[in-house]
């Protein structure tokens, strides 16, 4: 019968299977090639565990925000304000933990009494969530494009940060606070193996980053919420007619974005031992680049968090490798731009072969 002959015809040829597998890992292949190139060009210095963890630590700030951005872009939205959210959240965390917005490096710390580190972390995250909620509400209730709303947010929250901080940085935190950005889970065997003079280990920001990456992946891949996000990005009208609350789902991704930007702001402040009013300026570009390099479509409905993690790593590796090779920072920028375009082109090519 018709059924049976359709089945016998359904033979999958090996070549097509290969491109299908490749398609899923296009950004990963790209990353791998880069690592190999840098490893050879630096005669192995690039792969030194100290350097590897250094790259990872740098990546985790952009990476955390890129996880949130993946949710936003999957729905077909965008958030240009992440750098400013990061700054305002980091600033609030600093003020909460110090109990003042004066730069207390010069102050006797016993004069003012701040709150605990947990409270500071919570405050940073709450600020992020609140900002995301505001953006999402304006976008969904007033129907103003996300691009415009978050472009406005970009300058608004930067301004708020400057007011909060009187323009200057707030620096010099207690060790508990700094631990969140500078701490390590030590790996003594590794330290011994490479006979390093300082203890080597997995930086705390990296652990936070990977933890949330896994969590976000599970959310997007295995839950109803995740299915709904893809549906909203794929076809808003069809999503609505399938009974999804498109407005609420759209709002939710800006809140998630705010959460991640707030968390990243706290971690960055801890790592630098300073909350700067200029923190994260321009970082929205790195964040969006990481998501797009990772294969997520700016039109929405296509992509995943694993790709984003790889995209963030790719940018981090690139910057670090070029610095190690003493490439001038002007040329670095050109190379990074070219690689971003190449990576996305490669991804698109492989995907089109898969169709």
Binding site for another protein (CB under 8 A): 1-3, 5-6, 9-13, 16, 20, 222-225, 227-228, 230-231, 234-235, 237-245, 297, 301-302, 354-355
Report the nearest approach of another protein to the CB of residue 301 (Å): 4
Residue whose C-alpha is closest to residue 101's, from 181, 25, 160, 188 = 160
Nearer to another protein, 7 or 198 (CB): 7
Closer to another protein by Cβ: residue 239 or 255: 239
CB of 143 to another protein, least distance (A): 16
In a 3-state reduction of DSSP, which class is residue 12?
coil
- Strand, helix or coil for residue 203: strand
CA dist., res. 160 & res. 22, Å (int): 46
Tell me the pairing of strands 201-203 and 184-186.
antiparallel
- What's the min distance (Å) between Cβ of 10 and another protein? 5
Residue 197 or 355 with smaller CB distance to another protein: 355
Q: Give the nearer residue to another protein in terms of CB position, either 205 or 300.
A: 300
Residue closer to another protein (CB basis): 45 or 227: 227
Smallest separation (angstroms) from another protein to the CB of 6? 6
84 and 156 in contact (C-beta within 8 Å)?
Answer: yes
Residue 245 and residue 248: Cα distance in Å, rounded? 6
Q: Which two tokens stand for residue 311?
A: 């995209």
State both tokens at 10: 């359904």
Q: How far is the CB of 242 from another protein (least distance, A)?
A: 5
In angstroms, the Cα distances linking 295 to 107, 284, 304, 348 are 49, 17, 8, 8
Distance CA 258, CA 68 (A): 8
- Name the one residue in this structure whose structure tokens are 């990772």: 294
Residue whose C-alpha is closest to residue 259's, from 71, 59, 119, 99? 71
Q: How far apart are CA 178 and CA 260, in angstroms?
A: 19
Q: How far is the CB of 249 from another protein (least distance, A)?
A: 11
Comparing CB distances to another protein, the nearer of 65 and 292 is 292
Min dist CB 304 to another protein, Å, is 13
Pick the closer one to another protein by CB: 26 or 279: 26
Nearer to another protein, 147 or 222 (CB): 222
Considering the complex, what minimum distance in angstroms separates the CB of residue 82 from another protein?
25
Q: How many residues does the chain have?
A: 355
Q: Alpha carbon 316 to chain centroid distance? A: 11
In angstroms, give the least distance from the CB of 220 to another protein: 11
- Residue 223 φ then ψ, to 5°: -110, 165
Q: CB-wise, 255 or 268, nearer to another protein? A: 255
Output the CA angle 34-72-347, nearest 5 degrees.
30
Angle at 51 between CA 305 and CA 86, to 5 degrees: 50
């Amino acid at each position: 019968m018709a059924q049976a002959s359709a089945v016998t015809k359904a033979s999958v040829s090996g070549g097509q299977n290969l491109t299908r597998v490749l398609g899923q890992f296009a950004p990963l292949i790209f990353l791998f090639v880069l690592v190999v190139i840098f490893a050879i060009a630096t005669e192995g210095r690039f792969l030194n565990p100290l350097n590897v963890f250094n790259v990872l630590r740098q990546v985790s700030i952009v990476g955390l925000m890129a996880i949130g951005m993946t949710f936003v872009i999957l729905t077909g939205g965008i958030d240009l304000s992440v750098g400013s959210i990061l700054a305002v959240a980091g600033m609030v965390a600093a003020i909460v933990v110090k109990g003042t917005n004066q730069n207390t490096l010069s102050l006797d710390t016993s004069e003012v009494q701040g709150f605990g580190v947990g409270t500071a972390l919570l405050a940073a995250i709450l600020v992020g969530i609140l900002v995301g909620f505001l953006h999402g509400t304006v976008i969904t209730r007033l129907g103003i494009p996300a691009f415009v709303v978050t472009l406005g947010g970009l300058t608004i929250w930067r301004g708020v940060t400057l007011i909060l901080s009187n323009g200057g940085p707030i620096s010099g935190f207690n060790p508990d606070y700094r631990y969140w950005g500078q701490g390590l889970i030590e790996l003594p065997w590794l330290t011994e193996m490479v006979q390093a003079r300082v203890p080597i280990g997995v930086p705390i920001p990296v652990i936070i980053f990977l933890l949330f990456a896994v969590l976000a992946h599970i959310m997007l891949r295995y839950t109803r919420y995740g299915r709904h996000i893809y549906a909203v990005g794929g076809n808003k009208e069809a999503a609505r007619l399938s009974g999804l609350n498109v407005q609420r789902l759209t709002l939710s991704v800006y809140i998630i974005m705010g959460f991640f930007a707030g968390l990243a702001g706290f971690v960055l402040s801890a790592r630098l031992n300073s909350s700067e009013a200029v923190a994260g300026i321009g970082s929205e570009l790195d964040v969006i680049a990481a998501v797009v390099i990772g294969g997520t479509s700016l039109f929405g409905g296509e992509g995943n968090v694993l790709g984003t993690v790889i995209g963030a790593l790719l940018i981090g590796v690139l910057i670090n490798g070029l610095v190690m090779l003493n490439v001038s920072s002007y040329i670095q920028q050109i190379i990074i731009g070219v690689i971003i375009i190449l990576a996305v082109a490669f991804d698109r090519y492989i995907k089109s072969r898969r169709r």
